[in-house]
A and B are shown apart, each in its own frame.
Chain A
Amino acid sequence: MPPVTLCVKEVLTSVPLEAESISPDLFADRSREEIEALPVAFGNEARRLGDFFRVDGERSEEIEVEGSIERVKWVGSGMTRGRIVIHGDVGMHAGSYMRGGEILVEGNASDFLGVEMEGGLIRVKGNAGHRAGAAYRGSKYGMRGGIILVEGNVGHEVGAYMRRGLIVIKGNAEDFLGARMVAGTICLFGRAGLRTGGGMQKGTIVCMHPVELLPTFAYDCTYAPVFLRILVKGLKRLGVQATPEQASGLYRRHHGDLADVGKGEILIAA
């Protein structure tokens, strides 16, 4: 089936639109009229999706959004299958609670991208905001599976409380990358901010550039982890090209955070 295309009818005001109904699970079995009738929240008003988007196509697991929708929240939240392509920016909470399928953002993604997701793939060609792949405030765990790939930079607390899955950042990360991480893998090709891995219990943070570590991380050894060869080879399938040194070179291994369980590891390219 050809994709369902959504075009913004008019530039949204500063009032955000909450549109978790933009999901392949909901579009797959619905006609164009039924898609237009799907509920959205415009501030505190209950409205129809068709009030804000022109809908072309029907009954498809593929959705294409023309233009930027940086004020539209919850796109693809909880989706389990299919694909959403956003030809522009996307608002907060995109792909949160996602369990399968793929979201491609050709612009930038706002905060809370893929928060507490359990599966699937989110790829952002631009930058992503704060707390991507992290936990919502009060939740015990963040991302529990799946992959987030950001080709640009990311904000603070990305991967915080992460429980499983993979976050790949080709650009730089701000502070508290992988803070209080419980498991999973973060691979940072750019530079990290402060307190990387602060409070982490387990899990792996791979940094391709030197990082200023907290004093509660202890140096172990310099070696070439075979696992990184598997990871780097897998990243090639996503179009992330690492250098041969990054795949098979030496890494300085530090474990921590010793203020907590201390079984996490930060691998820094030597």
Chain B
Amino acid sequence: MSDRECAGVAGVNPPLLVQRTVPIPSVVDSVGRLANGFFEWFGSLGIFSWKVLRAAVTPPYEWRELIRQLDEVGSKSLPLVALAGAAIGIVVSLEARYSLSRFGAKSMFPATLVYSVIQIMGPIITGLIVSGRVGAGIGAELASMKVTEQIDAIEASAINPYRLLAATRILACILMLPLLTVATDGCGLLTGWFAQSLVEPLSFHQFIESGFRGATFNAFLPPTFKTAVYGLIIGLIACFQGMRTRGGAEGVGRAATNSVVLASLFVILADVVLVKFILVVFT
């Protein structure tokens, strides 16, 4: 029976056919939402950072938790960064030997390896490895605590969660990154020398003397200590993402993923800025 026939039976006019349309969001709307989300995220991060800073400088201090986090971030990341450093050393050694041979500059190999590992590869690789391991760990841990109300329970027990959970983790990351970078660099130089020695025997003493000839502290300390900034970025973003989680298990997964992705991204961006800063100030 058609609409008109039904209407005839019912004694009413059939409704006009209305074409249902789905509104297509305009480009302006989409860009506006994106920009809004961008500024909201940075604004919230700024407020979070202020709360953590205030909590960190106000007693009572959470020394026991800080020591626990130093162990968690530092000693438990050591095998991973050492392995990564060893791999970098071999890769740089192989690539540098090939490139330098082409230009007849094989004698420059020790210095090339030392400067490449300590100034460039060691810090950034350490930052990315730690942002993956520690960033995901902190993000997931705090997110899990958030969705199960454990952070609320801490606050209800009259304990400042920004001091206990966030400040300790961020400070541990800041303190441990330079030390982990030294470990990465050390392993990289060792395996780089070893890889070179297999092809052209060179004593470790000669390698170190040649590699560090004419070097000053300014050449190596700033690149190592810049990783403290990486630690700040990793700790801050991971804690922020974790402590603002919503949405149960899915939220925990999202927090862990976002912690790694955003921390890694900002570490790379920070490296661009810091390299330029070091070149201007220390060179």
A and B part of one assembly: no
B residues touching A (Cβ–Cβ < 8 Å)? none
